[in-house]
Amino acid sequence: MSKEAQKTVQQHFGKKAQAYSGSSLLQSQKNLQAVLHMAGILVRDRVLDVATGTGILAGAMCAVAGEVVATDFTREMLLQARESLSEVDNITFVLADADRLPFEDGSFDVVACRMSVHHFASPRVAFREMARVCRRGGKVVVVDVISSEDGAKSALHNRMGKLRDKSEVRQWRRSELEQMLTESGLSVSGVELSHHTMSFEEWIRLGNADAEATAEVRAMMIDSIDGDKAGLQPEFKDGELYFTWTTAIILARKG
**pLDDT averaged per 10 residues, the chain (length 255):** 51 54 84 96 98 96 98 94 96 97 98 96 97 98 98 98 93 98 98 97 92 98 98 98 98 97
Report pLDDT for 10. 52
Tell me what pLDDT residue 1 has. Answer: 47
Q: In degrees to the nearest 10, what's the CA dihedral of 234, 170, 168, 102?
A: 140
Q: What is the DSSP string of 55-98?
A: THHHHHHHTT-SEEEEEES-HHHHHHHHHHTTT-SSEEEEE--T
Confidence at residue 112, expressed as pLDDT on a 0 to 100 scale: 98
Rounded to two decimals, the pTM is: 0.92
Strand partners, 71: 94
Give pLDDT, residue 147: 98
- Around Cβ 92, how many Cβ atoms within 10 Å? 11
Which residues share a beta bridge with 67? 46
What is the residue extent of each domain of the chain?
Answer: 3-147+167-196+246-254
- Kind and range of the H or E run holding 125: helix 123-133
Looking at domain 3-147+167-196+246-254, its CATH superfamily turns out to be Vaccinia Virus protein VP39 (3.40.50.150)
pLDDT > 70: percent of the chain? 91
For residue 216, the model assigns a pLDDT of 98
Cα–Cα distance for residue pair 232/218, rounded to 1 Å: 13
pLDDT score, position 14:
47
Do residues 120 and 98 touch, judged by C-beta distance below 8 A? yes
Other C-beta atoms closer than 10 Å to the C-beta of 104 total 9
